């Protein structure tokens, strides 16, 4: 585990595991486009997972 002033790329301190909103939005958009590529309805998939697509962007 890093100590002192050592900076380690990708290291998150305890409690610092919340995903940055920008990264989350990028991943949601990637997933949305991937679902569309496979001829799936992303809106339906997100709703079945109990996620409101209107809140994703």
Asked if 14 and 20 count as a contact pair (C-beta separation under 8 A), the reply is: no
- Give the residue-averaged pLDDT of 31-47: 92
Instruction: Read off the pLDDT of each residue in 25-32 and give the average, rounded to a whole number.
Output: 82
- What are the sequence ranges of the domains in the chain? 21-55
pLDDT of residue 38: 95
Query: Count of CB atoms within 10 A of residue 39's CB?
Result: 6
What's the mean pLDDT in 40-54? Answer: 89
Predicted confidence band at 54 (pLDDT cuts at 50, 70, 90)?
Answer: confident
Q: Does residue 51 carry a pLDDT above 80?
A: yes
Length of the chain: 57
**pLDDT tens-digit profile of 7-22?**
556 666 666 555 555 5
């Amino acid at each position: 585990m890093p100590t002192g002033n050592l900076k380690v790329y990708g290291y998150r301190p305890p409690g610092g595991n919340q995903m940055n909103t920008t990264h989350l939005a990028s991943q949601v958009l990637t997933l949305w486009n991937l679902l569309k590529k496979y001829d799936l309805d992303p809106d339906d998939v997100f709703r079945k997972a109990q996620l409101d697509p209107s809140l994703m962007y």
